[in-house]
Structure 1
Amino acid sequence: MKNIFDIKTEHDFLAASLMTFRYQYDNVEVYKKFVDYLKINPEEVDSLAKIPFLPIEMFKNHQILDKNVTSDLYFQSSGTTQMNLSKHHIADENIYQESIYKSFEQFIGKPEDFIFLGLLPSYLEKQHSSLIYMVDFLMQKSAKPENGYFLYNHEDLFKLLDELKDKKVILFGVSFALLDFLDYCNSNSSTFQHSNTLTIIETGGMKGRKEEMTKDELLKILQEGFKTDKIYSEYSMTELLSQAYSLGENIYQCPNWMRILVRNAEDPFNYEQEGRTGAINIIDLANIHSCSFIATQDLGKTFGDQFQVLGRIDHSDIRGCSLLVS
């Protein structure tokens, strides 16, 4: 199978997607049963629109894994202990690491050039977080002594950011924690002097900790609080091994081995035209040993090769990284 990280053209992507579909139909039992249940002949699947997308809820109750591999590593979705959490088994973590590195390099820059700080308290407090694995990996590649995580010690974070104001710093932050940090800064009359050296990457997730607001409202508050023109965002989830990035304005771009399709929320095999709102389907070819074709419960729309996330379908389960409505 062609290395997914060598994909350059739409023809390459289509060919790799169809090859991956047939491989997963043959080797991922749950996916095969799903396709058969829909009475779809895999030999007749010759376009992205004809590929069946597995409902993301299947990761809650089934092991989605290639029968030819074993897996000790898994990621688990965030949520309360009362919730049935999704679990994604990872057979080859090298694929995830390469996906992390190449996506970050494509949209932000080389990890080696940055100091990485994490304001991710809710994720640090739980095990098996794919987000923490990602930030850990970027920190390892960076190898800067200042790299580190912060829970609720806002004073220490502010002091460190002030010390690093002339260096290139990435601050990954869950949405509610970034807002809490700005509340601390405001209450202590602390202001930022970073100009263009600090990049904020918010990862979503209000988690019931703050009053709900739209994504645009959140970005405006963060822009004003951190005194920056742009707040970056990262879009991924437990069930994916790839990340899309927004470089501002809540508009995301995918790496070359990932695509977004927007389906009609009532008819999963009917796709919306560009600019029209529907439910998000994701093709993530890095998921070679689980399922690369996932029907999410997120709402969005596409603009050429970019997309926007607008919230969630009504009545769908609450997920850790997608509680902001826009």
Structure 2
Amino acid sequence: MIAEAALLESKTLRDSVLQRTEVLDKVKALSLLPDGMHVTTAMVAAYFEVADTVINNLLSRHRQELESNGLRVLRGSELLEFKELNLSSYPGSYPQPRSSLAIWSRRAVLNVAMLLRDSDVARQVRTYLLDMEYLARTHPVDTQASGTSRTLDDRIDQRITHILGKTVVPMFNALIETSGEHRRELIALREDVQRIEQRLCDHDTRITDLELTRGPRPYTGIMASIDAMNWREFEHHVAVLLRRDGCTDVIVHGGPGDRGVDVTARAADGRSVVAQCKSFAPYRPVWSGELQKFLGASHVQHAADVALFVATTSFTPDARAIAESYGVTLVDRAHLEKWSAGVPLSVLQ
């Protein structure tokens, strides 16, 4: 398996995995400008949770590599046009006058993740990226087993995506440039088309990921369904599992004012139960600091008899040590899959 250090040092290795831009959203949602294709330097910095100056310094050191992967610096009339179409909804964020603006493609943002050393988010992206490459090498797709319908669906999806990206979106761009009265409506329609194009790409990525990781698993499809849930749906899923295992008075509290827990309940034998639910990307583990926060909420504020920390991912060794020391039951990805498939949670029995 490729080592992370080698990825940081070798441009050849970076180039070999730059097509996997979908990993960015697996780790953390990447907000895009209205054109659906670019972000600004400030947005790149926000994604990686670093200062703007860090990204600007990286740009100075690796400008040629980043430009080859979609970084562009706009000036003059091109900058004015881009700002009018994409930055009008960000009042006050881009002071006037501005002589230039760097815009980054998703590929360039992934390039940053493979160059940025001092960012936890960048490290998570690299880990996810390398693991996906390892799976692709060790679990090759059996094209014959996937069937004719899958191949046909692929061709249809790829054809639609090609038409949307190469024909429909440019057509809207041309109409927007020449239109005055219906400019806003055309921009909104273009955004809808680009969202459909992105969903088709995401759908193909999800199918590919499932095929790469398929194998003799007893609970096929369960975690795929859970991964598709948003945080609120995941909390309600945990509440359903608690009720199924005999708990009563099950209440979902997630969101502002939840006092540090997402679900409270009472076990069949009368013990009080609190649960914290974390819907994270599979390659983003739960850290010890998150366990420490939950300890205060579960033991001090709620005085719970049973404290559950349920996550769609794994826990770091430090987090597991804290949980063991203070009696917190950890439900990691593997246990969550079994629990969701009908295996009762032993601590509730």
TM-score range, shorter chain: under 0.3
Report the TM-score when normalising by structure 2: 0.25
TM-score by length of 1: 0.26
Higher normalized strand content (fraction of residues): 1
Higher helix share: 2
